[in-house]
């Protein structure tokens, strides 16, 4: 059972809906929003997701009771419409900040919003938006963080966890509390139309330094990241030209 958390927030995490097992916390959070059960800041947390979703329809691996797999609901009002990808940047920054605060070593964001620590993936984020016509109603941020699972048992995943980095169990409730507080800070900046892009870019792997990329035709090349625009497209240099790519069109090789 997951203990109650009391984050120092106005909204994020003040309501936590707990499940032992669901197919996907994002799917459930969407249903709860539509039925007016979940509202702004609600956390939907499950010990096990049987069909946890990652980027590009990939599944998220996690063992029950060891990690954090949850979704947070962020409502959008008429006066809080923000650029499509700005909340993605805010959520990624929040997770990045908490990982960096708790672990020694190098933490960075891999575009668009995976979190890596010491060269291995420690967290994945999937942002899904719900629209009414052209109006963005709410955003659901699905977050998976490897906490107490020994990821060394899954070498094919090239992943790490808090346990792998510290060699001791971490308090999941403490980490979730810190995440709620940091998510609220970063999302309030985004919803107030404060540009979090510069901070996001500074945490981004390959920003203004050479990194390897592969594109759909299999070509591998080195380039520098110059920007991630309001739609989430990455801007890199190819033959001295800046070109923009959607997620799925290009892959950074870590």
Question: Tell me: the pLDDT tens digits for 214-245?
Answer: 988 888 999 999 999 989 999 998 888 999 99
Is the separation of the CB atoms in 8 and 184 below 8 Å? no
Half-sphere exposure (Cβ direction) of 45: Cα atoms closer than 13 Å = 28
> What CA dihedral angle connects 158, 161, 167 and 169, to 10 degrees?
-150
Strand partners, 210: 224
Among the listed residues 211, 213, 250, the one whose alpha carbon sits nearest the alpha carbon of residue 108: 211
- Pair 116, 122: CB distance under 8 Å: yes
Q: What class has domain 16-202?
A: alpha beta
CB 90 within 8 A of CB 109: no
The mean pLDDT of 29-33, rounded to a whole number, is 94
172: pLDDT strictly greater than 80: yes
For 90-116, b/e burial (b = at least 16 CB within 10 A) is bbbbbbbbbbbebbeeebbbbbbbbbb
pLDDT confidence tier of residue 52, bands split at 50, 70 and 90:
low
Closest by Cα among 186, 194, 60, 190 to 136: 190
> How many whole angstroms from its chain centre is CA 192?
20
> How confident is the model over 124-145, as a mean pLDDT?
87
Contact 140, 26 (CB under 8 A): yes
| Cβ 71 vs Cβ 141: under 8 Å | yes
Q: Which fold has domain 210-253?
A: SH3 type barrels. (2.30.30)
- 141 forms beta bridges with 72, 127
Average per-residue pLDDT in the chain? 90
H runs (alpha helix) in the chain: 25-34, 86-102, 162-166, 172-191, 197-202
More confident residue, 122 or 53: 122
pTM of the predicted protein model: 0.93
Cβ burial, residue 191 (10 Å; 0-12/13-18/19+): buried
The pLDDT value given to residue 82: 65
Rounded CA-CA distance 108/110 in Å is: 6
Give me the residue spans of the domains in the chain.
16-202, 210-253
* pLDDT tops 90 at residue 126: yes
Query: 53: pLDDT confidence band, cut at 50, 70 and 90?
Result: low
210-253 has the same fold as 16-202: no
Select the more confidently predicted residue: 80 or 174.
174
The CB-side HSE value for 13 (13 A sphere, CA atoms) comes to 21
Indicate if the pLDDT at residue 61 is higher than 70: no
Judged against a pLDDT cut of 60, whether residue 192 lies above it is answered with yes
Instruction: Place 50 in a pLDDT band, splitting at 50, 70 and 90.
Output: confident
Distance (Å, whole) CA 195 – CA 200: 10
The structure tokens listed for 51 are 């069909």
């Amino acid at each position: 059972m997951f203990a109650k958390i009391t984050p120092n927030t106005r909204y994020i995490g003040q309501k936590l809906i707990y499940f032992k097992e669901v197919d996907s916390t994002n799917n459930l959070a969407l249903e709860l929003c539509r039925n007016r059960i979940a509202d702004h800041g609600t956390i939907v947390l499950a010990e096990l997701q049987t069909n946890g979703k990652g980027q590009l329809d990939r599944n998220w691996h996690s063992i029950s009771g060891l990690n954090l797999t949850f979704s947070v609901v962020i409502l959008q009002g008429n006066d809080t419409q923000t650029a499509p990808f700005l909340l993605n940047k805010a959520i990624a920054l929040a997770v990045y900040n908490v990982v960096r605060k708790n672990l020694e070593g190098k933490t960075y964001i891999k575009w668009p919003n995976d979190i890596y620590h010491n060269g291995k993936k420690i967290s994945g984020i999937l942002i899904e938006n719900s629209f009414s016509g052209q109006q963005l109603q709410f955003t659901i941020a699905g977050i998976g963080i490897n906490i107490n699972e020994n990821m060394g048992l899954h070498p094919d995943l090239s992943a790490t966890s808090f346990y792998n980095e510290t060699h001791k169990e971490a308090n999941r409730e403490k980490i979730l509390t810190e995440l709620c507080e940091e998510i609220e800070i970063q999302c309030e900046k985004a919803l107030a139309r404060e540009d979090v892009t510069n901070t996001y870019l500074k945490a981004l792997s390959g920003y203004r330094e050479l990194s390897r990329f592969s594109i759909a035709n299999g070509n591998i090349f080195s380039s520098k990241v110059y920007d991630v625009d309001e739609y989430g497209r990455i801007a890199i240099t190819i033959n001295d030209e800046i070109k923009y790519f959607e997620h799925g069109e290009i892959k950074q090789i870590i």
